[in-house]
Amino acid sequence: MKTRDIVVSYLEYRRALGEVLKSNESCLNRFIRYVGQEADITTVTTDICERFISKDGIGSAALRFGRWTIINGLFNWALARGYVTANPVPADHPRRPKSLTPYIYKQEELKALFDNALKYSEPNNRCHPETIRTVLQVTYMLGLRISETLNLKVSDVDLTEMIAYIRETKFFKSRITPFNIQVKEILQGYLGWKRTVMHNCPDDGYLFVDKYGNKLDHSIISSRFKKARDLAGIKRTDGSLFQPRIHDLRHTFAVNRLIAWYDSGMDVQRLLPILSTYLGHTQLAHTSVYLTMTDRLLNHANERFESFFYEDLENGLQER
């Protein structure tokens, strides 16, 4: 069977499970071109796979590991269905890159970021600073992915009930996200400004648009975010390859929610599933990625440990 046909069937199978697979499809299409459009799947050797994994002399461990993971998944699927008799992907996979450590913004940094997003402007700017600031505020205060913020439509925001409808997000899931009075006031102010300045705010239109009424592009937000971040003087000094990102706003939301619960003396273990649902996750393991151990979280964890330790010690002495 042709490698091309195997790849098509494999991607159809994975999509039927609810996966998007943009990066997988791109990689597998490159793999098809590399081995040949008409190549039979059984003629693909370990040597071919090794050369593809390090094709073009890629030096990035993340890229090599990504290619290995994707084609290994393809051949494991093909092997289980009898299309091949063995998996030709080398068993010794490239070293998995270290996970990126998220940047957790301090409260004063968040304020400086939002303030500088509003202040920053440039000639022929395609987007109003007011829009950029509100995008960043909503992304942080609702713990959203930036794509979820940009996909919001005016009708998705119910200011009366104080809920936002987050539709067809990662893995095609939708959810309802409640918000507080502070977010309501921000959104009310933004919508009032938008109707006054842009004179066109249909319910079925996107909430965040450029000066021409077009859906706000991710590249525009990314560029303006970096300008605001630099103006605010926010930077990493821990040797990380990446400076603070927009996505770190979501991490900061999750960490700050945990800290607030700890500070209030609430049962964090019981509340974790609620946070997971709010973030749009179906498993707690997915939420754990966002729970970076900040100094304050470590202090709370230490306090909890000491509490359990002395309680157990006291109980032990009483039993004796």
SS3 of 177, please? strand
Sheet architecture: strand order including 175-178: 157-158, 163-166, 175-178
Question: Per residue in 205-226, pLDDT tens?
Answer: 999 999 888 999 888 899 999 9
Question: Per residue in 93-138, pLDDT tens?
Answer: 767 656 678 899 999 999 999 999 998 777 677 889 999 999 999 9
Task: Give the separation between CA 52 and CA 93, rounded to whole angstroms.
Answer: 13
- Given a cut of 90, whether residue 319 has pLDDT beyond it is no
Evaluate whether the domain defined by 107-231 bears CATH number 3.40.120.10.
no
Are 104 and 292 spatial neighbours (Cβ–Cβ below 8 Å)? yes
Residue 102 CB neighbours (<10 A): 23
- Given a cut of 90, whether residue 299 has pLDDT beyond it is no
What Cα–Cα distance (Å) separates residue 239 from each residue in 101, 236, 242, 244, 254? 11, 7, 9, 12, 24
- Given a cut of 60, whether residue 313 has pLDDT beyond it is no
Domain ranges of the chain: 3-80, 107-231, 248-319
pLDDT-based confidence at 232, cuts 50/70/90? very high
SS3 of 191, please? helix
The predicted model gives 172-183 an average pLDDT of 88
> Tell me, what's the pLDDT at 207?
95
> Tell me, what's the pLDDT at 309?
38
Question: Per residue in 58-97, pLDDT tens?
Answer: 556 778 888 999 999 999 999 999 999 999 999 887 676 5
Task: Give the separation between CA 201 and CA 294, rounded to whole angstroms.
Answer: 41
Q: Which residues pair with 164 in a beta bridge?
A: 157, 177
Report the mean per-residue pLDDT for the chain.
Answer: 84
Task: Give the separation between CA 31 and CA 4, rounded to whole angstroms.
Answer: 9
Q: Which of 142, 173, 150 is nearest to 281 (CA)?
A: 173
Question: Per residue in 40-53, pLDDT tens?
Answer: 999 999 999 999 98
The predicted model gives 197-207 an average pLDDT of 85
| Whole-number percent of the chain with pLDDT over 90 | 52
Residue 235 CB neighbours (<10 A): 11
pLDDT-based confidence at 266, cuts 50/70/90? confident
> Tell me, what's the pLDDT at 306?
46
- Given a cut of 70, whether residue 289 has pLDDT beyond it is no
